[in-house]
Amino acid sequence: MLQVSQKAPEFTADAVINGDFATVNLNDYQGKWVVLFFYPLDFTFVCPTEITAFSDNYAKFQALNTEIIGVSVDSKFSHLAWINTPRNQGGLGEINYPLVSDLNKQISADYNVLIEGAGVALRGLFLIDPEGTVVHQTVNALNVGRSVNETLRVVKAFQMSAETGDVCPANWDEGADLMHGDVQGSQEWFQKHG
């Protein structure tokens, strides 16, 4: 079973990128942070709110050297049809990142988000660092969408910790004080914020 701190399972798969068919290989993203998220199915209801929210905020992720990849068990043809359907008609419209087809469900299984009997993925989200290690994951049941703002906050926190060697206390957000990860640093932080 995949756990945080392990290497992200590699995959090569069909996708829709910029309105055309292409192949996505996770190895091609080495050196960048990656938000890899799974959603149950195309042409459903919670899913488009997440997919379009990530797309609408894509420039914010790009500014953080972070790429986004969406994955579902649908075919690339279904992805393309959904993208070509306007948002006000239940479609996605233009999307700024790849939607990967996991038709054989192997990627979902490798990331441990596949609901076997239903044959769809839970709402799993994985943050992968530039070396290809999973540093964060969250998995929701099908009925509740994820927060793009929280995902951005988590990306910034992991990047800040990687850059400084410090740790990010609870509810840390950009501009807030970090904590040195030792007894003295902890005491200094609590003296200032306690």
Task: Give the neighbor-by-neighbor strand order of the sheet with 99-101.
Answer: 20-25, 12-17, 99-101, 66-72, 33-38, 123-128, 134-140
Nearest to 39 by CA among 58, 60, 54, 24: 54
Nearest to 122 by CA among 94, 142, 105, 102: 142
CB 153 within 8 A of CB 142: no
Sign of CA dihedral 26, 27, 29, 30: positive
User: Which one of the listed residues 8, 47, 114, 127 is annotated catalytic?
Assistant: 47
Q: Is 168 a catalytic site residue?
A: no
CB 101 within 8 A of CB 107: no
Output the CA torsion 19→102→148→134 (10° steps).
-130
CB 72 within 8 A of CB 98: no
User: Beta strand pairing status for 66-72 and 99-101?
Assistant: parallel
Please list the active-site residues. 47
